[in-house]
Each structure stands twice: as C-alpha cells, then as structure tokens.
C-alpha cells in the first residue's frame, strides 16, 4: 500500500489560498514577456483557429486601407482600436501560456545529458557507460547515491531515497523500491542513498518530464469538444453579422442614411462576440494552469472539462477519508487460543507485509521472530486481501475476514461463530478487523484470533462531502474493509454510498455501472491493479508515487500523491466550465447593449422613431461608433485577470449557479457597456474632428 501525504483541512485551505493568490496576480513582467508572443500570433494563419478574431483582423486591415485613402480622425481612431482589439485577444492567450514557461524552464534543467551505467544483457550483465539519450525502452541501468536517474523507469532491484523536488516541488525525499506500487522513477531526479537497478520505460523525447513541459507550455493543448462547439456557435454568429452589416450598406443607401464601409466595419466588430472569442483559449489554458499550480497534470483539456461534469466520485477510504495511518490496537484471541499464540501467528503472517498496518502489528507485539526454514512468504495483494507464510508443516494467513474464511474452509476448517462476533464488534466501532488463521501438519485450518486496526476520519471531511452533495455529486467510499466497518466509517464521514471488500474488478464494474446510467465518474489510484479502472473512469487521477502503468492509464497525475486532491480537481473543472459560461453570457449581453449605442446613432436621422432607443444620448454618431469600438477593446483587457483566475466558485446546485451567473454576468454585461460607452463618449467627443 502506498503511503500518501496527510493534509488537514487547515493545510488544504492555506494551500488553496496561496494557489489562488498566485494565480490571480498578473504582473507587468508577465505582460511584457507576452507582448512579443501576442504580436506573432497576429499571423492570419494562426488566427484561423479563432474565426471571430480573424474577422476583426481583416476588418482592421480594411479600415487601415480606407484611412490611408481617405484620412480622418475617426478613421484612424477606429483603425487603431480595431488593431488593439486583435492584439488584446492575442495577449490574453499569450499571458495564459506564459504562466507555464517558468515551470517549463526549471523542468528543462532535468533534461541535461548524463552518463548512464547500462547493464548488458539485463540485470545480471556487465556495466557499460552510455549517454542517457542512447537509452531505449527495456534497457536496464544501475543508479547509486549522488547520481541522477537517466530516464523514466521502474525499479527492478533495490530500494533508495530519491529527491523528486524538481518535478513535484516537495522537498522531502521519497522511497522508491522494487515491487509494489512505489517502483516508478522519473528521469532527472536524484538518488540520495543506496543503489537501485532501473528498467527504462520511455524513449528520449517521450519521458514524463517531456510531457510535463509540453503540457505546461500548452504546445500539446488541443481544443476540447465544448470549446469546438462554442467556437462553431461564435463563428456562425459572426457569419450572420457579416451578412447583416453587408446588407445594411445597401439598406442605408436606399433609406437615405448612407453609411461608409468604415462605419459598417466598426459596427460589425462591435456586434460579433469578440469578448469571448478573444478569451476562449485563455480560459482553457488557465484552467489547466490552475491544476498545475495544485501540482496536478492534466493530459488534456478534455480531462479538465470532464472533471467539471463529474456526477460520481469514487474515493478510497484510506488516506482520503481517513488519515490512512491505521495501526494495530489489540489482538483478540478466540476461545482456546492464548494471546501469545495469536500474537506469534500474527507476527509470522506479517513478516512479508510491508504495509504500515503490517509493520504496526510487529510494533504492537514488541518482538520479532524468524520464519521457519524453507518458508515461502505470501505477499499481500488487493486481489487475495491476505498475507502470510507457507512452510513444511505450517501455513499462516492474516487478512480480511471473508478472505481468510474462504482459506480456512478450503483447507478443511470451520470458522467459529465467536470470530464473527469479534469481527462485528470491531467493525461496528469503526475499526478494521484482520483475522489470523493457521494450518499445522496437514490438520484442518483454524482461526486463532482477530487483529483490531484503528483509523480516524479526517477532520472537516464531512463538510466537504456536504459541499459535493450540494453540487449534485454522489460520493462513494471504496474500501477493502468488511461491510460493517465500511458502513460505520461511511456514516461518520457522511458519504452517500460505499463499496466494501472491494477488489480492482469490483471498482471497474462499479464505474461501468455508473457510466451505463449516463453518469460521469472520477477516481484516483496508484497501483497496476488500479490501471483498468483509471482508464475506464472519465477522470482518472494517478498518484505520482504509483506505478508506470497507473500513470499511463489515468488522464491526470497528482505530483503530490494526495488522493484528497480529487475533490479539488472536480472543483477546478467546474470552475473552468462556469468561467466559460459566465464570460460567454457577459459577452452576448455586451453585444445587446452595444446595439443601443450604435444603431440609433447611425439611423436616427433616417428613422426618427429610433430615437426612443437612443437611451444613452451620445454626443454624435461618430463619437458613438468610436466609443463603442474603444469599449469593445478595453473590456477584453479588463476581463483577462478574471479569465486567468476563474470565476469565484461556491458549491451549490446547477440551478442556483445559473441564477447567480445570469444575474451577475448577464445583467452586469448589459449595464457595463451603457456606463462604459457613455463615459468614453464624454472623452471622445472632446477630440477635434469628431
């Protein structure tokens, strides 16, 4: 079992506030570094991906030509602010991308070419010195204290302390060892002690660090289905407004209110959804960046969006709902067995058990024992849910009550009713019972006693589950404990449901069942046996301490290996979707308000009845056009920090969130242009020539 960091709710809140503070700061240095990148993004070949901004650029180019051929103060002002509109849109995306460049630079330091000691012919071969870029999948290398691991791989022999701070940001070293779920190592990390043999699992250019760099820089970012759908909608609206503005030229001429192509171009840019068109990419990049700042890597924007749509959250009990440090509290023998006899069997069954629980049994008993000669250790696994020892004349098992009961019956024994009573009492108290059994000299197997493991539910976890419930998310606790223990802890923690005595196959079956019901499922895992479920889940968060198979199966990797963070991932996903929806609402509402600023000013001379719509009473048609164009550009700059930080999110139902956002961003989007354009008009009207 992989040990995971334990964070109290206070730690979580403090870390969350630091992350949000860092994410919300937009420094002058960041903007200065983003400007050259933004200017390069003005290449029409790049703007094809955002048709709305491409139309704005075409309009800016057209008004430039018009202003050169027929110079006027209004023409040059409109041209200037149309170009600034395009630049501001590119700047939003450049700033969002630039926030990951510092982390990418530190990661590149890990990619320096090193000398590796490759073993010819496998783990028992002779050493040869090669450069790390010559290593390929399947090569076996030796790494000792003070050396950097030359490539991603799995430890196949030995145990060592490894400094992974350059990747995870965590200064404390971690243990990496062969077998189990802590065997994966990352290229470029430093071995601090001992010696390990590593089998390389990735070719140069395809390592975990390479993927991290690509992700934080955004070079591998692909549009998500939701982004594509929204982009199609925005493009459709743009096409409609292009047709409308083109038709207005002839309608205005026919009505005796001639309008120049310069004015109609300005009108077009003000009417199309430039605000959300300019910020759409930045919102998606910033969502992934917020995850990176929480030390979670999302392999795609689709994974982040899926987190926002999650309906069911599968959470491991140990380390997520409880503190994960279950310790042996007492060993209860059954009738006819001495305490010493039960303790000796528990010690023998725990000799091969490297889990914290197994080691705590040795600590509780306070003495060690040597196993019998020619003994074969039976390792604990998630499938068998037992550990023990097999030797001539003696077989010992310790594990989940149901698993040991099956073993006892298969070996000719019976489980006494007293065992069920002890197991039930421990389970009902919220503890975890482990049954001890043995078989001697071919006699029927018999139960010797029960180990009582104690764990504690994390403070504040019930409140977090209440928040998830308010969001409409169902929480399911996954545990290897029996049903009684699971029920007691589930009730204390406040989860909606639980899956007891769960095997990897049970997890996979539960995920498929929920998905067949049309629900989106998120889970976390760290072992090879979790890989199928991680791959099946809509959001699979693999722990960085886990195996290579688990990290490849999931669509996110938590560098802190903190399973509690799955809840944060869901909240960030929802914040991304809410931010995109809120700014889309604001953008559309903005456009509606701009109709009242521009159209009455343009046509009130030909159609006096339109005067009733001229509620802003702007100084002149020219001032109205220029003020609207300036506001259209400035609102993009004003909203960049919000797009990067994300809309403030409070756990509540979908209907409550919709009402709140319609009120705040819908009504706000209507009011802001009225105030902004009116104030700008007061300034613009003072410019000579307007």
> Which two three-digit tokens encode residue 518?
């049309």
State whether 579 and 666 are in the same domain: yes
Instruction: Report the C-alpha gap between 290 and 92 in whole angstroms.
Output: 16
Which domain CATH number covers 519?
Answer: 3.40.50.1000
The domain spanning residue 193 has which CATH number? 2.70.150.10
Residue 19 and residue 168 in one domain: no
Pick from 623, 587, 633, 629: which is nearest to 602 by CA?
623
Q: What is the pLDDT of residue 37?
A: 87
Q: How many CB atoms lie within 10 A of CB 19?
A: 17
Domain assignment of residue 33, yes or no: yes
Q: Which of 405, 436, 454 is the last residue of a domain?
A: 454
Position 180 scores a pLDDT of: 65
3-class state of residue 371 by DSSP: coil
Are 165 and 70 in a shared domain?
A: no
Residue 297 lies in a domain: no
**316 flagged as catalytic:** yes
Domain ends where: 559, 587, 609?
Answer: 559
Residue 2 lies in a domain: no
Distance from the Cα of residue 669 to its chain's centroid: 30
Query: What is the residue whose two structure tokens read 């403070």?
Result: 459
- For residue 16, how far is the Cα from the chain centroid? 14
Same domain for 89 and 123, yes or no, is no
Per-residue model confidence as pLDDT tens digits over 6-40: 444 444 444 444 444 444 456 777 788 888 988 99
Catalytic pick among 152, 154, 316, 558: 316
Q: What is the reported pTM?
A: 0.72
How many C-beta atoms lie closer than 10 Å to residue 393's C-beta?
10
418 and 341 both lie in a single domain:
yes
Q: Is residue 603 part of a domain?
A: yes
N-to-C CA span, the chain = 74
Same domain, 317 and 339: no
224 touches 118 (CB < 8 A) = no
For the chain, how many structural domains are there in total?
Answer: 4
243 and 96 in a single domain? The answer is yes
Note whether residue 151 is domain-resident: yes
Instruction: Specify if 300 maps to a domain.
Output: no
Same domain, 598 and 547: no
| H/E stretch holding 177 | strand 174-177
Is residue 225 assigned to a domain? no
Torsion angles phi and psi, residue 254, rounded to 5: -65, -35
Low-confidence residues in the chain, pLDDT < 50: 1-24, 219
**Range of the structural domain that residue 72 is part of:** 9-100+234-291+571-684
Both structure tokens of 682: 């007061």
Two structure tokens written together for 31: 């903007």
- Is residue 299 in some structural domain? no
Same-domain pairing of 423 and 464: no
Quick one: 433 and 500 in the same domain? no
Q: Please list the helix, strand and coil fractions of the chain in percent, rounded to the nearest 5, in that order.
A: 55, 15, 30
Residues 358 and 378 reside in one and the same domain: yes
> 3-state DSSP call for residue 91?
helix
Per the annotation, where are the binding residues for ATP? Answer: 353, 357, 380-387, 398
Q: Give the C-alpha distances (Å, rounded to integers) separating 531 from 2, 142, 175, 523.
A: 15, 27, 21, 11
User: Of 182, 216, 250, which closes a domain?
Assistant: 216
Report the CATH number at residue 382.
3.40.1110.10
Tell me what pLDDT residue 123 has.
64
Residues 522, 604: one domain? no
């Amino acid at each position: 079992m992989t040990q995971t960091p334990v964070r109290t709710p206070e730690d979580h809140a403090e870390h969350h506030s630091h992350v949000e503070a860092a994410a919300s700061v937009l420094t002058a240095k960041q903007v200065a570094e983003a400007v050259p990148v933004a200017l390069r993004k003005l290449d029409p070949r790049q703007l094809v991906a955002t048709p709305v901004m491409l139309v704005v650029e075409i309009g800016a180019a057209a008004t430039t030509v018009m202003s050169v051929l027929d110079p006027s103060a209004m023409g040059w002002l409109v041209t200037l602010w149309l170009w600034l509109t395009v630049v501001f849109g590119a700047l939003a995306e450049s700033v969002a991308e630039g926030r990951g460049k510092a982390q990418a630079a530190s990661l590149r330091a890990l990619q320096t070419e090193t000398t590796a000691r490759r073993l010819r012919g496998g783990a028992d071969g002779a050493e040869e010195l090669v450069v790390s870029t010559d290593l390929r999948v399947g090569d076996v290398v030796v790494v000792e204290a003070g050396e950097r691991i030359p490539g991603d791989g799995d430890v196949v022999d030995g145990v060592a302390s490894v400094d992974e701070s350059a990747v995870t940001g965590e200064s404390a070293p971690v243990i990496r060892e062969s077998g189990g779920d802590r065997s994966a190592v990352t290229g470029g990390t430093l071995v601090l002690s001992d010696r390990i043999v590593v089998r390389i699992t990735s070719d140069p250019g395809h390592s975990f660090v390479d993927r991290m760099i690509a992700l934080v820089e955004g070079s591998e970012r692909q549009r998500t289905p939701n982004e594509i759908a929204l982009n199609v909608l925005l493009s459709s609206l743009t096409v409609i407004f292009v047709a409308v503005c083109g038709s207005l030229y002839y309608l205005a001429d026919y009505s005796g209110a001639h309008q120049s192509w310069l004015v109609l171009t300005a009108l077009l840019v003000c009417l199309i959804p430039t605000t959300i068109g300019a910020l759409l990419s930045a919102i998606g990049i910033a969502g992934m960046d917020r995850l990176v700042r929480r030390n979670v890597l999302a392999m795609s924007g689709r994974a982040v969006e899926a987190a926002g749509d999650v309906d069911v959250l599968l959470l491991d009990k140990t380390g997520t709902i409880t503190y994960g440090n279950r310790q042996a509290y007492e060993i209860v023998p059954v009738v006819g067995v001495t305490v010493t006899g039960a303790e000796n069997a528990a010690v023998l069954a725990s000799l091969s058990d490297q889990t914290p629980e197994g080691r705590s049994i040795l600590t509780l008993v306070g003495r060690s024992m040597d196993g019998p000669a020619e003994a074969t250790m039976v390792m604990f696994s998630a499938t068998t849910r037992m550990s023990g020892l097999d030797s001539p004349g003696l077989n010992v098992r310790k594990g989940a009550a149901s698993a040991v009961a099956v073993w006892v019956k298969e070996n000719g024994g019976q489980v006494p009713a007293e065992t069920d009573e002890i197991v039930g009492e421990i389970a009902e108290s919220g503890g975890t019972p482990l049954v001890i059994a043995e078989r001697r000299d071919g006699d029927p197997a018999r139960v010797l006693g029960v180990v009582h493991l104690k764990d504690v539910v994390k403070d504040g976890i019930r409140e977090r589950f209440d928040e998830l419930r308010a969001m409409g998310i169902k929480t399911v606790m996954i545990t290897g404990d029996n049903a009684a223990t699971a029920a007691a802890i589930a009730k204390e923690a406040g989860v909606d449901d639980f899956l007891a005595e769960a095997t990897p196959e049970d997890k996979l079956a539960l995920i498929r069942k929920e998905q067949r019901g049309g629900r989106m499922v998120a889970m976390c895992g760290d072992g090879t046996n979790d890989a199928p479920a991680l791959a099946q889940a809509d959001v699979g968060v693999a722990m960085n301490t886990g195996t290579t198979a688990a990290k490849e199966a999931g669509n996110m990797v938590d560098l802190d290996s903190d399973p509690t963070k799955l809840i944060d991932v869901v909240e960030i996903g929802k914040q991304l979707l809410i931010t995109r929806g809120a700014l889309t609402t604001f953008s559309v509402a903005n456009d509606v308000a701009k109709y009242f600023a521009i159209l009455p000013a343009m046509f009130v001379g030909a159609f006096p009845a339109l005067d009733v719509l001229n509620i802003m009473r702007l100084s002149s048609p020219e001032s109205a056009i220029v003020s609207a164009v300036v506001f259209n550009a400035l609102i993009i700059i004003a909203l960049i920090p919000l797009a990067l930080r994300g809309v403030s999110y409070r756990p509540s139902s979908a209907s409550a969130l919709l009402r709140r956002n319609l009120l705040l961003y819908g009504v706000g989007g209507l009011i802001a242009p009225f105030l902004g354009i009116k104030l700008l008009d007061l300034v613009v009207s003072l410019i000579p020539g307007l």
